[in-house]
Structure 1
């Protein structure tokens, strides 16, 4: 059972590090650079990047606490930063990119690798946190 706990913590540690890498990667790919004056950069904004960075740092800290305590309870909270990262990535994919493309039809904008990495990190954190929560609940019953 301890191997499974450690494996979940290592997965969350790896996902948190991958989230940091995803924040460094570009989140938008420009297929044409012609934007009308006044249109902002369609890349993921600094505030959203900071929110994702804080979520990844929280997941990293929760994974370290789970490894130190040899328990799943701290790791169960990793689903919260995962949901935050999924929400930011999904909001960016669904709302931001089509609106910028409407404002600048000459500039075709597509999600780049950073957005997909963040979305994947959010899913991994959420699933791992839910699995840890279910395992800790089974042990308490």
Structure 2
């Protein structure tokens, strides 16, 4: 019972932290070195909205877990965490090296927002998996 509360608080804090990460820049770069008309290497609006929706759902599931005192709702934060971590891993692995290929002098590097979001996604995935194991054990 107390373990579920700790997990729920961890999930809620990770979701809020991920929200803060959305407000931070996700890439360090020099705009003057990017080609004209090229895409900005920061995480685009559509992916930010997808992450925001997943983090809001994770926060709601954590609050629901705290109210019901059951681990089942929190188990679904694994899915939201996987979604956020997947978006960020794709961004870090594919987008940034692609930007360097287009403009090698731009020297694009991940900024704080990318690492905060990736960490939040991984924490939410781990929290959900632990909650699922707790729910399975409790049956």
Matched, 1:22 2:24: no
Partner of 1:51: 50
Unaligned runs of 5+ in 2: none
> Equivalent residue of 2:32, what SS?
coil
Q: For residue 105 of structure 1, report the CA deviation from its aligned partner.
A: 1.3
Gaps of 5+ in 1: none
TM-score (norm 1): 0.96
Q: CA deviation at 1:47?
A: 0.2
Confirm or deny that 1:131 pairs with 2:130: yes
Measured after TM superposition, the shift of residue 33 of structure 1 is: 3.1
Q: What is the TM-score of this pair, normalised by structure 2?
A: 0.97
Q: Note the C-alpha offset of 1:40.
A: 1.1
Q: Where does residue 113 of structure 1 map in the other structure?
A: 112
Give CA deviations for 1:31-72 in whole Å, capped at 9, x if unaligned. 573112121111000000000000000000000110110000
How many equivalent pairs are there? 139
In the TM superposition, residue 3 of structure 1 has moved relative to its aligned partner by 1.2
Corresponding residue number in structure 2 for 1:90: 89
Distance 1:31 1:37 in 2: 13
Which runs of at least 4 in structure 1 moved beyond 6 Å after TM superposition?
A: none
Matched with 1:66 is 65
1:7 maps to 6
What is the root-mean-square deviation of aligned Cα atoms in Å? 0.9
